[in-house]
């Protein structure tokens, strides 16, 4: 065993992901997490009888309930189809130890567009950027250019109260500015392994 800490599933996997020696970890029902430099592959009966959960880093995204974005080490997204307004979306993402998604690379935007289309999602979806003092700012702190090729036709319009970012279903999930109070499905993200 490399170390032992207390915390949630996310805390456990993040601790393992940030320790270059850690390959796997166990989490018990008391929230005790232990990191290991070996792959154990315990039987499911051991897990069930002892109340242990076993994780390997290679499947960390699926264990966290999100979809890994290829080409983005340790980054995943999770679609929530419950329709909520912006402030409630933030709270919902935070309750999963995530944040509203910051699609700061072309790769992330393209992946999410294809993912939403591929799963047959048919609703506008909120992302984690807001218009603040004339600048679009992602939850990560990065900025989004108004000249980005990912905006939908004629967007952003910056109409009255259109201060939150969404992907519009009607345009193949191109970026669109929208009103923060509108209840939409939303995308959370998590970086669980620093580049």
Transcribe 28-61 into DSSP letters. Answer: ETTSEEEEESS-----HHHHHHHTEEEEEGGGHH
Retrieve residue 83's tokens.
């329709």
Whether residue 83 is found in the same domain as residue 18: no
Evaluate if residue 191 carries a pLDDT over 60. yes
Q: How many CB atoms lie within 10 A of CB 178?
A: 22
Give kind and range of the element (H or E) at residue 154.
none
Average pLDDT, the chain: 87
| Pair (71, 30) in one structural domain | no
- Average pLDDT (143-161) is 94
* Contact status, residue 48 vs residue 38, Cβ threshold 8 Å: no
Any idea what DSSP says for residue 171?
Answer: G
Q: Which domain covers residue 51, as residue numbers?
A: 3-60
58 — phi, psi (to 5°)?
-65, -15
User: Which of these three, 11, 38, 60, is where a domain ends?
Assistant: 60
116 and 94 part of one domain? yes
C-alpha 91/C-alpha 174 separation (Å) is 25
Under the banding of pLDDT at 50, 70 and 90, the label for residue 195 is very low
Residue 69's alpha-carbon distances to 75, 77, 102, 110, 117, in angstroms, are: 6, 7, 12, 10, 15
Q: How many CA atoms lie within 13 A of 89 on its CB side?
A: 31
- pLDDT category of residue 176 using cuts at 50, 70 and 90: very high
Secondary element (H or E) of residue 107: helix 106-118
Q: Are residues 177 and 142 in the same domain?
A: yes
Residues 147, 36: Cα–Cα separation, whole Å: 46
Are 43 and 126 in the same domain? no
Q: How many domains does the chain have?
A: 2
Closest CA to 6 of 28, 24, 22, 23: 28
Please write the tens of the pLDDT for every residue from 123-141.
999 999 999 999 999 999 9
Nearest residue to 136 via CA among 147, 149, 124? 147
pLDDT of amino acid 64: 75
The pTM of the full predicted model, rounded to 2 decimals, is: 0.73
Same domain, 116 and 20: no
Q: Please report which helix (H) or strand (E) contains residue 19, including its range.
A: none
Instruction: State whether 72 and 161 are in the same domain.
Output: yes
CATH code of the domain containing 171: 3.10.100.10
- More confident call, 74 vs 176: 176
Q: Is pLDDT at 117 greater than 80 in this prediction? A: yes
Q: Is the domain of 137 the same as that of 154?
A: yes
Identify which has the larger pLDDT, 46 or 67: 67
| pLDDT of 19 strictly over 90 | no
pLDDT above 50: residue 120: yes
* DSSP character at residue 93: H
Residues 84 and 150 in one domain: yes
Give the pLDDT confidence of 67-105 residue by residue, as tens digits: 888 888 778 999 999 999 999 999 999 998 899 999 999
Average pLDDT over residues 138-156: 97
Q: Are residues 90 and 169 in the same domain?
A: yes
pLDDT score at 101: 98
**Lowest mean pLDDT, pick from 48-57, 83-92, 147-156:** 48-57
């Amino acid at each position: 065993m490399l170390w032992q800490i207390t915390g949630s599933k996310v805390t456990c996997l993040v601790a393992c992901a940030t320790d270059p020696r850690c390959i796997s970890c166990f989490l018990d029902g008391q929230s005790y997490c232990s990191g290991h430099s070996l792959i154990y592959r315990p039987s499911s009966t051991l897990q069930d009888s002892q109340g242990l959960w076993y994780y390997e880093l290679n499947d960390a995204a699926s264990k966290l309930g999100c979809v890994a974005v290829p080409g983005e080490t340790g980054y995943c997204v999770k679609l929530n189809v419950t329709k909520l307004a912006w402030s409630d979306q933030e709270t919902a993402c935070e309750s999963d130890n995530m944040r509203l998604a910051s699609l700061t690379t072309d790769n992330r935007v393209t992946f999410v567009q294809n993912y939403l289309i591929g799963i047959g999602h048919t609703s506008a979806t909120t992302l984690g950027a807001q218009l603040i003092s004339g600048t679009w700012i992602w939850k990560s702190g990065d900025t989004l250019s108004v000249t980005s090729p990912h905006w939908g036709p004629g967007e952003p319009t910056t109409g009255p109260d259109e201060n939150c970012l969404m992907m519009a279903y009607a345009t193949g999930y191109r970026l669109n500015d929208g009103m923060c109070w509108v209840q939409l499905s939303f995308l959370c993200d998590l970086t669980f392994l620093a580049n």
